[in-house]
Structure 1
């Protein structure tokens, strides 16, 4: 097994921007060679989920729109939390450890996202955006060292050819304004199919099937090459994947990853009671539902209040949600018994429902501490029948029913531009983006923090309650200030 501990003298023995004593000398990576080191099953899953969190937020940022600077902010924030990757000049970090995780997590997700054209396309886009940000943030010496280690299809043109095409090159290169600028600029001749984005923008000179790209636009060649190589690698991986279908350990995990990426979220793992907020009581649920619940849980709560009953999947989804919200077991039993009212006797409730509630809290049966269902699970699993209330309304409702529900619960006008933004995200199957947009519209433009999207109903509630507390605290400070100004002089 590869020894992942890098000593300090290894990290300080760098030459230029390349450290020959590191196993992975470059931060930038085209992921051409698969890692051969062993990893544990826990590392296999947790590292892939960390990378998936980053890619999911990149995809969400793409859907929301915005410029490249906004994308850089999202990537930097998410990578700092889940996928750190420092340059050779930052010697206080274990660079081999970081780059090993980056490489392994990339190849794991290849296994998950090579199965369909849709998954391959989303994966290539998100990984290319991640590479673009890393390339932009790298120092020039770091870029040069990386590019020197790769072979690209472009080749520099000679001084004679540059002089012959001087007028055409100056006319098509926006960065060249003077003769001096032209003299300093270097050009590369590449097949025009490698830089279709520059061709579409008419930013390069074309001749006999080749584009003449200035060094200032060299990054476009690199990004196109990254995309092409990754797309080809995914197709090769897809051909080899059937060999893994018999592996009972890996196949469920890989399927989990692909479902999470289609849902737009990486998934959440076990949460303990109260982890998403302070403990609550049964009497608080109605008020919390009206103020803080996401649409999925508002719909379930509304169904319970209207029908005095929920089908099994709705009860399970809602019970686990309330458990992690901070509802203790005794309060949970009180809440469910009061919710059913006169529709059933105490004897029937104790026989048919009390046990299931205690089981969800890990107090019966195998005594497992079941986590609340995250957005990935709610979106992708157990679609509701006509009479059921569980699931994700953004995915499972018709457009008209969804608009009516959002309008009824959150007061967003059906014919408004804001509603159009929500429906547009739904039509593109980015349900978590639509849910995040509802949160922002109902919280004075505030989001979940760090540019993140909604990934868990309990996380939605926790952030909503947090913003309410901040708002109340500001009011108290303002009130005290007014009181002090009105206080009579002694």
Structure 2
């Protein structure tokens, strides 16, 4: 018989039944799970949740112009296709109309898998941020499924004392409600809730709610603006407890083995496309020269500088840099303009169109097999074959030491800083050398080695825009 994992609720009396613990299909995950579970089931439900979160990210990136409800529909379709039916049913749930044993079982598995994965990512800043983003999106999409009764039950279960206004009160302020809710055609049939204005700052900023005596009158269709920020704050505050939970299990090989496998299954380096408003606002074709100085890893800085100086890159450099630009959010048309403006300084436009434009379109999935090619990881870049005329590859691995030192001098590094980086490079610690390069450039400590140049770029831009920790206001829509 396989061993069981035990969870203990940190309160004096455990609830009498699981039905009391899981009365609703949507949860805030505020309490520690209790009871027992087989270790193979524990691993299985966590792996399933990782698949769900990966799909959430993929759909978010592919359907940026879709509404929350449309993305949720796309997710449910993919979940059924993958055979993850129980999560599909949870996401489509209108609230808590059913309380069968199967309903309770599915809700408990949802609770446990979230709780365990929170501990899995607790010590890795990048994976923690990834988990935070996907869980927030998942909560948002699930909330969009709730009907009015489901929302009321959710508020009651979680002790949200938001007061629905009476018809008489609504009549008294009807004109103000119409002015603040222009997108709502029938005010009379819409329920409004009184909420402290500080709970819906995003709605206040957009002037989408009427405020009186410090209270905002929020229409039922916008009530998610209250709960999503609450979910974010709750999740962030629980990460510290998750760190302690994982630390307390370091001596239990059963759990450390499961946690290690789960953490290794979170491949954030494979989904690099731009997601943060801070990055989107900073990236444009006319800012590449500045960004290459401030936020490019050295491998991309070298390529950009060579392109500007020589007006040409060999095949390997074109592919490596083109995919990097795609990953930071530069459009196909802008990348094509960049390539054409440089290459046509040493060749006719006809030659460029004939010999080089196809390759750019190919990298963006517009020619050939039309695959969605992703930017190269650091490992792939280190494995590049580099010739004497090439500028691609990893500078810390492929450059001669005197040339590497010249590049570091060009970056403004002093003798001691250069020596530190070059010693790591000589010892074959290429990722550590790149990390030290980042720390010196940004005057900070970075405890996680970069595995992808686009992750390096994202972190650098966030650093320069005073992005620290988990930003509660970066999600679109809420």
Query: Greater Rg, structure 1 or structure 2?
Result: 1
